[in-house]
Amino acid sequence: MPNVSKVFISAGDSSGDIHGANLMSCMIKKAPGIKFYGLGKENMKRAGLHCLHDMSTKSLMWLHVLTELTAFRQMKKDCIRFFQQERPSAVILIDYCGFNFHLARAAKKLRIPVIYYVCPQLWAHGPWRVKKMKKMVDKLLVIYPFEKPFYDAAGIPVTYVGHPLFDEIYQRGVDEGIVSELKKQGGTIISFLPGSRRQEIVRILPLLLQSAVRIQQTIPSAKFLISCSDEQHFGLMQTITKESKVDCKIIVRNVHELIKASDLCMAGAGTITLQIAHYIKPMIIVYKISPFSYFIVKPFLTTPYIGLVNTLAHKMIVPELLMFRKNYTWLANQALQLLSNSQKRQTCINELTGLIDKIGKPGASEHAAEEILCLLKII
């Protein structure tokens, strides 16, 4: 029989760690006897996770997985041994279908309920894997409205709970003192948010800096801020910006304050675009891959957009481009239009306002906790 007091939870990256920690806190409030075991980072450990493996030192990017194959095999063995010996009441998986699918398969064989929270984006680049998911998962808790009909059609039990990012935004708030300090320099503030992974920074930041030269030629008062969400990449960003012909200030952490202080944001594709949308800031989304990767990936893309805000709006409400060449001229032109064309800028602001009114409400973690506890018949 499964042990009702024990729940296994697995999150591989930093955002999953934050979502996992908030979910755990909500579940513990409603059912104080629950103990969590599994894979996570600092936030989940602070929330009470008994960590089988600390994911802070591990990367689940496919290239790093290849180089650390022995460690990942051991991690998988340890998790399966825990399932066999402890028989947890549920296995909760957060994103990362590659590794988490292995855990789902193992738990299912042992008849332990599997709940997937923050599902992999199979609707965008892997619809053929839905059949596999149906065999391994008892319940999906999805964070985007359009995911529910997608999984409903596949016959998988699914509930839309909302995006936990908005829980974090409302909990955290904004330091208006920092916003004022960033704005104090005056001029038009343009922020670059190239991503939190080294590969993204190396590919995208040089493009953004090249576009900055063009922008400053037209708007001499333009000031450029670079978001460094992970302190370990500060040195890398410094090295890249040294070669730039424009002055840029690197802002470590304080992402929310940087966004709020900006007149325009230029960002990589991903959840960061929802953070920018929350503050109703016009943005440009760019994602750069190698020509070879573009050739491989393109046939598998099933959505017309790379940016979440455009995908959620079902139309292009902010400019975006998936590029395999250094098209910084396009970036600069789009930026100048959003800064100088008042009609285009206002249209973008109106569209973002409408989108956030629909999806930008807190409560996802609470809703997900209730769904899981009901499934386990604890409340």
CATH number given to 171-359: 3.40.50.2000
The CA distances from residue 305 to 141, 166, 275, 314, in Å, are 23, 22, 18, 9
Residue 129 is predicted with a pLDDT of 75
Task: Considering only residues 199 and 294, tell me which one the structure prediction assigns the higher pLDDT.
Answer: 199
Find the range with the poorest average confidence among 181-190, 242-251, 298-307, 318-327.
Answer: 298-307
Integer-rounded Cα radius of gyration of the chain? 21
Indicate if the pLDDT at residue 306 is higher than 50.
yes
Residue 60 is predicted with a pLDDT of 52
Interval 302-322 mean pLDDT: 89
Residue 296 is predicted with a pLDDT of 64
Indicate if the pLDDT at residue 186 is higher than 80.
yes
Q: pLDDT over 70 for what percent of the chain?
A: 90
Residue 169 is predicted with a pLDDT of 93
Interval 227-241 mean pLDDT: 93
Task: Considering only residues 348 and 57, tell me which one the structure prediction assigns the higher pLDDT.
Answer: 348
Q: pLDDT over 90 for what percent of the chain?
A: 71
Find the range with the poorest average confidence among 158-162, 224-228, 291-295.
Answer: 291-295
Whether 313 and 285 have beta carbons less than 8 Å apart is answered as: no
- Binning pLDDT at 50, 70 and 90, where does residue 240 land? very high
Exposure pattern of 318-331 as b/e (b: 16+ CB <10 Å)? bbbbbbbeebbebb
Whether 379 and 30 have beta carbons less than 8 Å apart is answered as: yes
Tens of pLDDT, residues 76-122: 999 999 999 999 999 999 988 778 999 999 999 999 999 999 988 76
Indicate if the pLDDT at residue 372 is higher than 90.
yes
Tens of pLDDT, residues 17-38: 999 999 999 999 999 999 999 9
Q: What is the location of CATH 3.40.50.2000 in the chain?
A: 3-162+363-375, 171-359
CATH architecture, domain defined by 3-162+363-375: 3-Layer(aba) Sandwich (3.40)
- Binning pLDDT at 50, 70 and 90, where does residue 298 land? low
Q: Extract the tokens encoding 249.
A: 């200030």
Is the backbone of residue 197 left (phi > 0), alpha (psi -120 to 50) or beta?
Answer: beta
Residue 336 is predicted with a pLDDT of 98
* C-alpha 197 chain-centroid distance: 12
Interval 206-224 mean pLDDT: 96
What single-letter amino acid sits at 60? L
Residue 269 is predicted with a pLDDT of 85
The CA distances from residue 260 to 129, 267, 307, 344, 376, in Å, are 39, 14, 20, 20, 41
Strands (E), the chain: 3-11, 35-40, 49-54, 88-94, 114-117, 139-142, 158-160, 189-193, 223-228, 248-252, 264-268, 283-288, 320-323
Tens of pLDDT, residues 120-143: 876 656 667 788 889 999 999 999
Report the predicted TM-score, pTM, of the whole model to 2 decimal places: 0.87
Mean pLDDT of the chain: 90
Indicate if the pLDDT at residue 311 is higher than 50.
yes
CB atoms inside a 10 Å sphere around CB 250: 15
Q: Which residues contact 116 (CB under 8 A, 6 or more apart)?
A: 92, 93, 100, 104, 133, 137, 139, 140, 141
